[in-house]
Amino acid sequence: MDSTVYREVTPTPTIWMIAALMGVFIAAAGLSVLYIEHHGHIVTGMNNQIVWGLPHVFAIFLIVAASGALNVASIASVFGKIENKPMARYSGLLSISLLAGGLAVLVLDLGRPDRLIVAMTTYNFTSIFAWNILLYNGFFAIVGAYLFVQMARGIAPEVVRTVGTAAFVWRLALTTGTGSIFGWLVARPGYDAAIMAPLFIIMSFSFGLAFFILVLGTTFPLTNRFLGSNLIKRLGRLLGVFAVAVLYFTAVRHLTNLYASEHGDFERFILFGDTMFTPLFWIGQVLIGGVIPAAMLLRHAEKTSKNQVLAASVLIILGGMAHLYGIIIGGQAFPLEIFPAYEVSSTFFDGAINSYSPSIYEWALGLGGVALAVMIAGMGVVALRILPMSLSDAKIDPTEPDF
């Protein structure tokens, strides 16, 4: 692996076509932002009860995945798995790209992005949102430094390991902060749970690694570089473990809520209700995003192909979106517990299940954030020596042959 050669990507017609497609999505997102800013959020599906809509689902997914995309680099630098070292640069670049895409959606969906300077200069340290601003900015700085020490010549391995360890700890803090946004909102029975922080950490491991595998498995063929089957299978097996861990923490969350009487009504609403959130949970989150990909990835390696690992990654991403939709939108659809032990009803929909249907503008903004992340990652591999020329199994692990 000392002879690993990194080269910039030379754009091909296919790459230019993908870049143009991403540009279309980004332009559509920009037009949607202008339209929403001009007419107000009344043109979206959001209302006074559901104030975090589909763009927040995309934004939180990208932010959580950004932390998990750094998995590969952390395993190489912090835990000494040198077979992951050739992929560490791409891991760092992708994590920065995903966070930038997620924050772009988050800022543009808030309604007054011009007032971001206020949030950046005036901090209310009793608010978890203020903490997250520091965590997001710090993530850019630390992962950027981590990427630099990996690429610079003459940097001692001890320095790389130290910076990598700092990035690993910071990413855990970042995901803890993101999960705590929901875990500390005690007025909503769908959010109020201390397990939200560790749940979001393990979700980041799963969603980020799935995104990394999918992007890695498509980037190398597009750039005429070789990607070994054993490498993808090894990453896929780790992804399968993470998928099972997400199912475990999800089960603990719901069993704990069922045990607590104050959350019982919400659990019946999500698990056994007659709204879209119940099939979204059982079919989208549990089956498509957990059971099926775990079964595909954890069986014997000889029965698993590279394409199956990529397909399982897609399923985990779709299931992750369903998971976050259920947490964010489902948690707001259920009535607020403003007066515990009392039944509340009024003309302002107090005590009623809130409805929400995302508009085309929200879809455009969310997909634009994904496109922005892909565009940033693409520009990075074109401008910098990020991608190795080969990730063959023999090069990564000489004891395992190529397929």
Tell me if 291 sits within 8 A of 246, measured CB to CB.
no
Judge if pTM exceeds 0.95.
Answer: no
CA distances for 400 relative to 67, 231, 315, 378, angstroms: 30, 10, 28, 30
Site of tokens 């595998």: 213
Quote the CA–CA distance of 100 and 377 in Å, as a whole number.
10
DSSP code for 28: H
Question: What is the predicted pLDDT for the residue at 22?
Answer: 97
And the tokens for 4?
């690993």
Q: What confidence score (pLDDT) does residue 291 get? A: 97
CATH topology of domain 13-396: Formate dehydrogenase/DMSO reductase fold (1.20.1630)
CA distance 64 to 103: 11
C-alpha span between 48 and 332 (Å, rounded): 10
Closest by alpha carbon to 178, among 286, 122, 99? 99
Strand partners, 390: 226
Neighbouring residues of 27: CB distance < 8 A, sequence distance ≥ 6: none
Spatial distance between the Cα atoms of 235 and 388, rounded to a whole number of angstroms = 17
Burial class (CB in 10 A: 0-12, 13-18, 19+), 20: exposed
Distance from the Cα of residue 195 to its chain's centroid: 18
**Strand 226-227 relative to strand 390-391, pairing:** parallel
Per run of 10 residues, the mean pLDDT along the chain (length 403 residues) is: 78 94 97 92 90 95 96 88 88 96 91 74 79 90 95 90 94 93 86 92 96 94 87 92 97 92 88 94 97 92 85 97 96 82 70 88 97 96 92 61 38
Note the pLDDT of residue 290.
96
Query: Integer distance in angstroms from the first to the last C-alpha of the chain?
Result: 19
Maximum pairwise Cα distance, the chain: 70
Q: Retrieve residue 402's tokens.
A: 């190529």
CA distance 88 to 287: 31
Calpha distance 183→346 (Å, rounded): 28
Q: Name the residue ranges covered by the structural domains of the chain.
A: 13-396
- Can you tell me the distance from the alpha carbon of 69 to that of 84, in angstroms, rounded to the nearest whole number? 13
pLDDT at 398: 46
